[in-house]
Amino acid sequence: MYKITIYMPVETEKEIFNNIDEIKKSFDITEKITDNLYKSFTGEIIEVEKE
C-alpha cells in the first residue's frame, strides 16, 4: 500500500476542495524531484511513501 500526500498552497477552505477536484481531473506528473517527490502539471508537490 502507498500513502500519497499532496502539498498545495491555499488561502481558504473552499480553495482546498476546488483544487482537489482539479487535481483529480488532471493528475499529470511533470517532474520527478527525488525518488518519492514529484511535481504536478499545476504546481502541486506530491509525496509518495510505501507503507
Domain span at residue 42?
2-50
The pLDDT confidence band at residue 46, using thresholds 50, 70 and 90, is confident
Q: What is the pTM of this model?
A: 0.63
Q: Cα separation of 47 and 12, whole Å? A: 22
Grid cell 488561502 is found at 11
pLDDT exceeds 80 at position 22? no
What is the gyration radius of the CA atoms in the chain, in angstroms? 11
pLDDT exceeds 80 at position 21? no
Q: How many structural domains does the chain have?
A: 1
Q: What are phi and psi of 36, to 5 degrees?
A: -130, 10
pLDDT exceeds 70 at position 27? no
pLDDT of residue 14: 83
